[in-house]
């Protein structure tokens, strides 16, 4: 036969405040909050500088591709894939543009 005897329940502890829970959590880390300030500042700086790093990477890639195109063109001309007449026409038009710019500024 089972009896429904009620066993005494332990007294309820009052709920702990959120501030006390935060304080316990901070004490458990072993370091004060301000010890993390340099790493947080560095993370913020990294986030702020990232767009400039990406812009620098794009500009570096563009310059590298320009050098590759120029040296590739010179190499193809040297090997003979680009005829001398084509090179003379392109360099002549570039020279005319440069002379026009210099005359427009009054340097010549």
The domain containing residue 92 runs over which residues? 35-105
Q: What are phi and psi of 35, to 5 degrees?
A: -70, -20
Q: Does 54 reside within a domain?
A: yes
pLDDT at 108: 74
Say how many domains are in the chain: 1
19 within some domain: no
Whole-number pLDDT of residue 72: 96
> C-alpha angle 57/63/66, rounded to 5°?
140
Looking at residue 28, its pLDDT comes to 66
- Dihedral angle computed from the Cα positions of residues 83, 84, 88 and 89, in that order, rounded to the nearest 10 degrees: -30
Residue 4 lies in a domain: no
> pLDDT tens, position by position, for the chain (108 residues)?
555 566 667 666 656 566 677 767 766 667 777 888 899 999 999 999 999 999 999 999 999 999 999 999 999 999 999 999 999 999 999 999 999 999 998 877
Query: What's the whole-model pTM score?
Result: 0.53
């Amino acid at each position: 036969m089972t009896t429904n005897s009620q066993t005494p329940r332990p007294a309820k502890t009052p709920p702990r405040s959120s501030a006390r829970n935060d304080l316990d959590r901070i004490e458990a880390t072993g370091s004060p909050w301000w010890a993390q300030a340099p790493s947080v500042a560095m993370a913020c700086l990294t986030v702020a500088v990232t767009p400039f790093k990406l812009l620098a990477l794009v500009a570096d890639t563009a310059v590298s591709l320009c050098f590759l195109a120029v040296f590739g063109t010179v190499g193809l001309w040297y090997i003979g894939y680009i005829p001398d007449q084509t090179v003379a026409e392109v360099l002549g038009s570039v020279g005319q543009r440069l002379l026009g710019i210099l005359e427009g500024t009054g340097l010549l």
